[in-house]
């Protein structure tokens, strides 16, 4: 967990640094009609959102001066980026007349906070800034009604009571804001205008808070359509009847959830912590990204002609909450075809018992150890346990290198070192298969003897028995000097070496997760993710790809084989998998465990290739 936290924090800091410093970069400049611009050439992986954040300008400002970008940007396209010459200041504003002043939006500001700063109403700002209803961005200029003082402490203004809703023909329902929702996304979700939302909730700012309660104008027709558009991060994903539900948000009409051979009903149980925002942490972002991947898979399934009804519940992190959600939504959940979740091991048993009692297959994405796997034949464990990873990796080594000169360098006997533990496991299997290998405890003194282990005219596979890159990063260049055409050397390492792998020209490693960036499908996915959600995923491994792969694989298999899909799952084509490898093994009379492991080769041409 710490690993994910640090990655997210580092990436966040890098993003902040980029946003704050891009205006000082040495880009070519031009002046047109008295206004100064940077000249910027679009690069690979650039999106309009990313560029706008890098230069501290809004996407609207960029499009205003670059009409050719309205329909999309391409690599090599030249953009004129307006230079923000004004100096940053938390309360910067310039008086322009008696009716209003101009305020330039700063980082972390909302319409609500700006309204409080200038002692005006949110609706007063919206009346002068129609485009602000769809959200505000850093650098956007807002017209602020000219009050006597911008300091609410000096001159307080009593907020009027919330007016009675004017929608005489409409009722309202309550929605609790999910991470990354906006006024615009809610307007699309409920098929109402942002103006209607603001009339019902005049206290709203343009940036919503997770857990915030919103009154939604509604009537009997809402949620009756067979398909909906759900927006995430102000971008749209089209899919079949997607609903975002928790026990306290929009609860689906149980009568509309009926068994059908045409629509596959999927329940997604994840911990968004909507009602316990103080307990939200960096891990929540992973589950949001997993959810985003699921949404994109449903979009792809729809293109394939598969109709999906997704119902998402926030089950938080406790067994008690999981029980509560299952009991509260019993009628609905009994009619679903698949359940994906939960995230936490403590909740698995109660959800597993429910799935088994109601004959519903359960796919558990993250838990590395599931006790009920031996008793529930409908349970699918996606996270491969370490011993099964070792077993599959050993098979790969024996299959691909059994006829090579295998030399194992032992660095330590640390039980926390995955490399050391795998080497012990591999030695047992090599002996069992009667495959010869050499073993050398590594020390600086022993380094000179390594060359003695190599054989002429035979490739050596040098396995470094450690997953710690700091132990081998200085050794790899020295080993490279010993490599020759008559005695070629390849290194077997671990995915945790990360960039260190690239320090040697021929390196192998086994992994359950690998993203082939040259894959056409992966490229299409990256572009779609950027279009729909604006910012790249931050988790490692990619939780959005895990969500896409897992949901697509199982839903597609269900669409092909129906309830009998477990017996045919491993014959099912995995052409759409972007990161994962699936190979589910039956556990006696119990469920299935994914034992999918790939062998990856970093070649002398500095390319990654999938061996298995």
pLDDT digits (tens, 9 = 90+) for 454-481: 888 899 999 998 888 888 888 888 888 8
CATH class of the region 93-145: alpha beta
Give SS3 for 233: coil
Per-residue confidence (pLDDT) for residue 333, from 0 to 100:
92
Give SS3 for 408: strand
Extents of the domains making up the chain: 2-82, 93-145, 181-381, 387-511
Mean pLDDT of 120-147: 79
- pLDDT tens digits, one per residue of 55-74: 877 777 787 788 777 656 77
Mean pLDDT of 425-430: 92
The alpha carbon of 392 is separated from its chain's Cα centroid by a whole number of angstroms, namely 27
Residue 164 confidence (pLDDT) above 60: no
Per-residue confidence (pLDDT) for residue 8, from 0 to 100:
38
Per-residue confidence (pLDDT) for residue 153, from 0 to 100:
30
Per-residue confidence (pLDDT) for residue 342, from 0 to 100:
93
Mean pLDDT of 178-200: 72
Taking a C-beta distance cutoff of 8 angstroms, is the pair 28, 559 a contact?
no
φ, ψ of residue 369 in degrees (nearest 5): -145, 125
Residue 101 confidence (pLDDT) above 90: no
Per-residue confidence (pLDDT) for residue 432, from 0 to 100:
92
More confident site: 148 or 98: 98
Per-residue confidence (pLDDT) for residue 218, from 0 to 100:
67
Taking a C-beta distance cutoff of 8 angstroms, is the pair 243, 252 a contact?
yes
Q: Does 93-145 match 181-381 in CATH topology? A: no
Mean pLDDT taken over the chain: 75
Angle between helices 283-303 and 520-533 (to 10 degrees): 110
Per CATH, the architecture of 181-381 is what?
Answer: 3-Layer(aba) Sandwich (3.40)
Q: How many CA atoms lie within 13 A of 308 on its CB side?
A: 32
Residue 606 confidence (pLDDT) above 80: yes
Per CATH, the architecture of 387-511 is what?
Answer: 3-Layer(aba) Sandwich (3.40)
Helix ranges (DSSP H) in 179-307: 183-190, 194-200, 283-303
Per-residue confidence (pLDDT) for residue 128, from 0 to 100:
86
- pLDDT tens digits, one per residue of 527-564: 888 877 776 776 677 899 999 999 999 999 999 888 88
Per-residue confidence (pLDDT) for residue 3, from 0 to 100:
39
Residue 240 confidence (pLDDT) above 50: no
Which are the contacts of 312, defined by CB distance < 8 A and separation ≥ 6? 243, 244, 245, 246, 267, 268, 270, 291
Sign of CA dihedral 241, 245, 249, 254: positive
Taking a C-beta distance cutoff of 8 angstroms, is the pair 142, 136 a contact?
yes
Per-residue confidence (pLDDT) for residue 463, from 0 to 100:
93
Taking a C-beta distance cutoff of 8 angstroms, is the pair 545, 580 a contact?
yes
The neighbouring-strand residues paired with 176 are 213
Mean pLDDT of 353-381: 91
Per-residue confidence (pLDDT) for residue 367, from 0 to 100:
86
The token pair at 481 is: 């000097």
The neighbouring-strand residues paired with 63 are none
Q: Which CATH number is associated with domain 2-82?
A: 3.10.350.10
- pLDDT tens digits, one per residue of 476-526: 888 888 888 888 999 998 988 888 888 888 889 888 888 887 778 888 888
Mean pLDDT of 162-166: 29
Phi-psi region of 129 (alpha: psi -120 to 50; beta: other; left: phi over 0): beta
Assessment of whether the complete model's pTM goes beyond 0.75: no
Taking a C-beta distance cutoff of 8 angstroms, is the pair 538, 508 a contact?
no
- pLDDT tens digits, one per residue of 257-266: 333 357 999 9
Mean pLDDT of 583-605: 89
Calculate what percentage of the chain has a pLDDT beyond 90: 19
């Amino acid at each position: 967990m710490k690993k994910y936290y640090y990655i997210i924090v580092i990436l966040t800091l890098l993003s902040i640094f980029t946003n704050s410093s891009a205006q000082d970069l040495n880009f070519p400049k031009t002046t047109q009609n008295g206004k100064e611009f940077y000249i910027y050439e679009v690069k690979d992986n650039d999106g309009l959102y990313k560029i706008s954040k890098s230069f501290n300008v809004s996407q609207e400002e960029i499009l205003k001066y670059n009409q050719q970008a309205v329909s999309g940007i391409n690599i090599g396209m030249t953009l004129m980026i307006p230079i923000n010459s004004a100096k940053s200041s938390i309360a910067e504003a310039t008086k322009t007349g008696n009716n209003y002043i101009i305020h330039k939006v700063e980082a972390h500001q909302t319409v609500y906070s700006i309204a409080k700063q200038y002692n005006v109403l949110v609706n007063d700002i919206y009346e002068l800034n129609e485009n602000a209803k769809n959200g505000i961005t850093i650098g956007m200029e807002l017209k602020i009604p000219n009050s006597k003082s911008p300091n609410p402490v000096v001159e307080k203004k009593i907020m009027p009571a919330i007016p009675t809703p004017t929608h005489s023909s409409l009722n309202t329902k309550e929605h609790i804001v999910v991470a990354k929702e906006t006024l615009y996304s809610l307007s699309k979700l409920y098929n109402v205008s942002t103006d209607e939302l603001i009339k019902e909730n005049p206290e709203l700012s343009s940036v919503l808070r997770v857990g915030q309660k919103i009154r939604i104008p509604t009537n009997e027709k809402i949620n009756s359509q067979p398909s909906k558009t759900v927006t995430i991060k102000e971008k749209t994903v089209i899919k079949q009847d997607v609903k975002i539900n928790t026990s306290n948000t929009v609860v689906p009409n149980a009568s509309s959830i009926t068994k059908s051979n045409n629509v596959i009903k999927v329940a997604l149980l994840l911990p968004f912590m909507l009602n316990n925002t103080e307990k939200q942490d960096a891990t929540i972002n992973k589950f949001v990204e997993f959810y985003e991947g699921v949404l994109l898979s449903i979009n792809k399934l729809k293109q394939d002609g598969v109709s999906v009804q997704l119902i998402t519940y926030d089950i938080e992190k406790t067994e008690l909450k999981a029980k509560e959600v299952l009991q509260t939504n019993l009628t609905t959940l009994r009619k679903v075809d698949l359940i994906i979740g939960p995230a936490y091991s403590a909740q698995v048993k109660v959800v597993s018992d429910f799935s088994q009692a109601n004959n519903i297959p359960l796919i558990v994405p993250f838990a590395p150890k599931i006790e009920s796997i031996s008793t529930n034949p409908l349970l699918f464990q996606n996270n491969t346990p370490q011993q099964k990873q070792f077993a599959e990796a050993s098979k790969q080594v024996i299959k691909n290198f059994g006829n090579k000169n295998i030399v194992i360098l032992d660095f330590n006997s640390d039980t926390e070192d995955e490399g050391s533990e795998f080497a012990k496991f591999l030695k047992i299997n090599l002996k069992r298969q009667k495959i010869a290998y050499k073993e050398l405890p590594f020390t600086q003194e022993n380094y000179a003897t390594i060359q003695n282990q190599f054989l002429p005219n035979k490739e050596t596979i040098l396995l470094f028995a450690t997953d710690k890159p700091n132990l081998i990063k200085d050794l790899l260049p020295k080993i490279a000097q010993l490599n020759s055409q008559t005695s070629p050397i390849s290194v077997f390492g671990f995915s945790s070496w990360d960039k260190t792998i690239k320090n040697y020209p021929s390196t192998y490693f086994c992994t359950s997760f690998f993203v082939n960036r040259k894959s056409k499908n992966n490229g299409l996915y990256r572009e779609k993710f950027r279009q729909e959600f604006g910012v790249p995923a931050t988790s490692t491994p990619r939780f959005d790809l895990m969500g896409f792969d897992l949901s697509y694989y199982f839903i597609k298999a269900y669409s092909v084989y129906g309830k009998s899909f477990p017996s045919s799952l491993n014959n099912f084509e995995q052409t759409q998998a972007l990161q994962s490898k699936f190979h589910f093994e039956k556990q006696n009379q119990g469920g299935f465990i994914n034992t999918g492991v790939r062998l990856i080769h970093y070649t002398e041409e500095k390319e990654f290739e999938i061996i298995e």
